[in-house]
Structure 1
């Protein structure tokens, strides 16, 4: 099998085989199959293309070489930016605009997806997203999740019985303290005064005022990571530097969140004990912990989305899976889209190819996760030393079309 230029290939020694059931595809596939069945199910390429456009570009390139192959596009999300759009395409329902604020309190546009079965979907990135701030504005000591609370409150007021909050891509590290304010709960200092917004202020938290106003709605955090709230693998240590935190800030923020977790356990009746160590609590700067403290639960974001788009049925009869994301790195294997898709493909004996803006995951790690090959836009455009990074950011669709065409030449029957 030929190796594409600028690619990472994992040797595969077992021939690909398909069960007899594959001869009768589910209705999602076209009735007449002339060539391969290729499932294209990428995540967004952060900062450049949303998932639907990534899938479309790869498909366009593939069809230019192998027009008789049957392509099924299933854009995915892991709970981070773009989650609502992907779910709306799969589930239908009403997309309701909701005015909110960004991590610094400035007006921002948000929305909720309300389905016919009373489930509301929203994403934290619309109110807390890192992309809403310039690099100079990033300071997790001061940024707030208040805007996310406005979205959750709007979902409750719209009559949702379950509110699913996609967590990922946040600029905040306040443990959800800001989010709780529109829901009726305010953090207080030792003198009974409301604390300022931001993660640093939680170092002085001593109590809470008010009670959650959820009208019986259940909360679900769709997380893209399983990190706990506190410690070396917690929100502050792992994600704080990405949001502008210095080493000193990380220590301050982790101590503040520890104090915050103690208060939540003590004052909220539905908060589980050991909050600081629970998986998913560190997602989105501790928003996962806030959902848990309100009696909610954490779920895998990619698992939730793949169920919504019925990815299993598509995987069952695919000959090849193409997935991808902006950066295929060590974090990709911790609950991200690529890990979920590649693992499911591996379990079915189906090859899985990853396309990414940049690839830094080792071959053995990738193979263990179920990845057959990984290809990089940066390398396609000549590598880092020849302007590949800038080209990958400026012309991602062009690069994905080219890689799609080259994959078709390599894989199509």
Structure 2
């Protein structure tokens, strides 16, 4: 009886690794003899590094860097070995995330990805052969100029003076100067949005308001000028690539300045943790996240797990804090269970997340056993 626990985080309540361990502890009591394979998952946003480091038995390291408003912070990222090569696994939000500057008034004109660049530089100095970076949760709308400056790119005005790399200054950009002998390793960007850099569906208009953007033209004009100068000076024009607008244009910046490749967050993580192979040898798959609803049906991690499991003829159970669109979800998931009691306030349920998850798994133990015996 082998059970794969491939579960995402319960946002604001239970990290994916804690959720997996909680389920395993419940199963150890309720289904003695079951062998649990813990495989936390993510889709490129917060929790990506933790999921990969846990699944690959990697280790954590720390980098001295700055948040999006230039305050010193320490960012954590993972080091692991996959397919025989060393790689770093990080999230831009560890340095340039919106949550990190929530105590300050929003100021997107000065918000910078400089700290993310320093985190990348730290990984380069450790000699990694590949960097995987999730770019969800950003506080920035600078198209990656801060990140690029931290890696040695210089943004110059018409007189040849170096501009402070914040988007407010890019209206004076005349030239981009590349660092000498800059050869980054392979960089894979976990990204599950398809927004271009500019326009009505671009980073400024779609994601800017949550970061404090009110004057769309102020940002749009500067980002457009940056793209034009980068095309001329660097020979790269990624403004229309799906995902270029992710994380305030950091998707564009990583492609333009680092030669990065954008890829589906879930597909990338699934490949890194060998999810297909682990599903193939399991008798039951348990997945879930904090909230399962109509959005889950459109490529989110738990649905990716469920679809892969059903392709291999494996039964799937899902646990979530709350469940909506239940009829649609049941067409692709064999057992659904909401862990929050209906009469419990949400704040209390989030505080008691691991406890409620253990209780729900224990209650559903016989149903889980039945899934394995009837599959």
TM-score (normalised: structure 1): 0.78
Question: RMSD over aligned Cα, in angstroms?
Answer: 2.9
- Alignment partners' CA distance in 1, 2:324 and 2:141: 27
1:99 Cα offset (Å): 0.7
Task: Name the SS of the counterpart of 1:412 in structure 2.
Answer: helix
Q: Which residue of 2 aligns with 1:60?
A: 25
Structure 2 counterpart of 1:101: 66
Name the structure 2 match of 1:284: 247
Q: TM-score, normalised by structure 2?
A: 0.85
Mapped partners of 1:381, 1:250: distance in 2: 43
Residue 266 (structure 1) aligned to one of 215, 229, 232: 232
Alignment of 1:159-178 (within 5 A): 159-178=127-146
Work out which structure has the larger RCO, using CA pairs closer than 8 Å and 6 or more positions apart in sequence.
Answer: 1
Distance 1:343 1:191, change over 3 A: farther
For the structure 1 residues 233 and 63, does the alpha-carbon distance in structure 2 shift closer, same or farther, using more than 3 Å as the test? farther
DSSP 3-state at the match of 2:266: helix
1:52 deviates by 0.8
Pick closer, same or farther for the CA change 1:256–1:330 going to 2, 3 Å: farther
| Structure 1: 5+ residue stretches without partners | 1-32
Alpha carbons of structure 1 residues 266 and 72: separation in structure 2 relative to 1, 3 Å: same
| 1:186-197 to 2 correspondences below 5 Å | 186-189=154-157, 192-197=160-165
Match 1:346 to one of 298, 303, 310: 310
Change (3 A) 1:316 1:280: same
Instruction: Determine which of 110, 114, 132 is the counterpart of 1:146.
Output: 114
Aligned residues: 366
| Alpha-carbon distance in 1 for matches of 2:72, 2:266 | 29
Cα distance change on mapping 1:406 and 1:76 into 2, 3 Å: same
Q: 1:99 to 1:135 in 2, by over 3 A?
A: closer
Q: Which runs of 5+ in 2 are unaligned?
A: 371-375
Find the aligned partners of 1:367 and 1:213 in 2 and give their Cα distance.
54
**Secondary structure, counterpart of 2:248 in structure 1:** coil
Deviation by residue 1:33-66 (Cα, 9 ceiling, x = unmatched): 3xxx332111222323221101112233344433
The reply on whether 1:77 has 2:34 as its aligned counterpart is: no
Deviation at 1:110, TM superposition (A): 1.9
CA contact (8 A) 2:39 2:54 kept: no
- Cα deviation per residue 1:59-96 (whole Å; 9 max; x = unaligned)? 33344433344332211222333333333333345543
